[in-house]
Structure 1
């Protein structure tokens, strides 16, 4: 039997890749950068607003939104009705161009952000009058994990530092190996330096000769 299978195996066709078990639906992206599926709306990055050629792959637990053959957004699938499911990161590039609009942005207001983020947002908005620092903070999630950024934000709030650069500084301290960090500067000097006091007698002699008197 084994020998017969080996002979037959040479004539078998290759196994075809598995087909995704998903319901495929064509969709358009509206001006709010949302696509509608069943009774709910899901966000995509704002640069795709107005596109008419999106494809939704709806799986049991999640949906994927594809444009130009690439998955541009992935969301947990909601079985409730009339829900708007936002991903804050999809709107950050647009908000960066209009930082004062952050106070009215639904994706930000509905985001379940940690208390330290909310405090940072409130204080930075009060201090600078816009949400640019907070937007830059949220964009740090593209480089670092949520847990790491949250720890850095908590440190900034504790020290009353409300800039994205301050958060990035703490992230650098938390993530860089000790060997790559600059050595502390030593200000002690091995030899004392004596500065000789200037003498103005040559200038006094010039004045006495009247060279600069009109």
Structure 2
């Protein structure tokens, strides 16, 4: 065996088309939309392929064996879809994400309720903001976040992010402690409330208008104009 590892995959350098896809041996694979028009490097292995932008890995797919297939990653299209949320419901990438179990019934339920509250466009945009959180939060916690937020009627991405992080921090605790309050009803902490609760104490003195009152008394005693009139 060789002393140093060496690459055994076959290298291709396709150009990303306007649909944010590359073609490798008759099959198409998605890459992030920011790479449209650029040439990327693909290393094709027996069971998977890896896409690089220069030396940075930007995509990884299971290899398609049949010809003329298409494998799309929903995450690759989120920046484009958040600008055009009307294209989201019919997106092929969404259907593939459902089939792969990455877009769960919990996501669908949260999305449906968000559309009822915020409308089709804004509700869908809120869902896409939730999906973007997957770049920083593990999938299992990101599913727990919408589930808790949905039961509490919290239909914002901030609420989902906070609940997902709480689930990550307390994953060894009882699930009931994460989702129910003292009365047994689902509860959620909104992000702005959490920030206020964690602010340091404000030790500054309260503002005072005493100097201004003293100025008013002096001006009136001397028969001068009201200082507010002078300011105007």
Separation (CA, whole Å) in 1 of partners of 2:136 and 2:49: 24
Equivalent residue number for residue 164 of structure 1: 157
Instruction: State the partner residue of 2:94.
Output: 108
Q: Which has the larger radius of gyration?
A: 1
Q: As a proportion of its length, which structure holds more helix? A: 2
1:7-156 matches, cutoff 5 A: 17-51=4-38, 53-112=39-98, 113-128=103-118, 129-130=120-121, 131-156=124-149
Task: Report 1:165-204 matches (<5 A).
Answer: 165-176=158-169
Number of equivalent positions = 167
Give, in whole Å, the separation in 2 of the partners of 1:95 and 1:164. 16
Structure 2 CA distance for partners of 1:17 and 1:132, relative to 1, 3 Å? same
Deviations 1:104-133 (A, max 9, x none): 322123312211111112222343222111
Runs of 4+ displaced beyond 6 Å = 181-185
Distance verdict in 2 for CA 1:25–1:172, change over 3 Å: closer
Query: What is the CA distance between 1:184 and its match in structure 2?
Result: 7.9
Q: Distance in 2 between matches of 1:169 and 1:150?
A: 12
Shift of the 122–183 alpha-carbon distance from structure 1 to 2, 3 Å rule, reads closer
TM-score, normalising length from structure 2?
0.65
For residue 137 of structure 1, report the CA deviation from its aligned partner.
0.6
Structure 1 unmatched ranges of 5 or more: 1-14, 186-214
Q: Which whole-Å CA distance do the structure 2 matches of 1:18 and 1:148 have between them?
A: 36
CA distance in 2, matches of 1:62, 1:156: 36
Corresponding residue of 1:189: none
The alpha carbon displacement at 1:164 in A equals 1.2
Please report the RMSD computed on the Cα atoms of aligned residues, expressed in angstroms: 2.4
Q: Distance in 2 between matches of 1:45 and 1:82?
A: 21
CA distance in 2, matches of 1:184, 1:91: 36
What is the CA–CA distance in structure 1 between the aligned matches of 2:54 and 2:145, rounded to whole Å? Answer: 37
Work out the CA distance in 2 between the residues paired with 1:50 and 1:182. Answer: 42
Return 28-37 or 101-110, whichever deviates more. Answer: 101-110
CA shift in 2, pair 1:170/1:27, >3 Å:
same
Structure 2 stretches lacking a partner, 5+ long = 171-193, 199-232
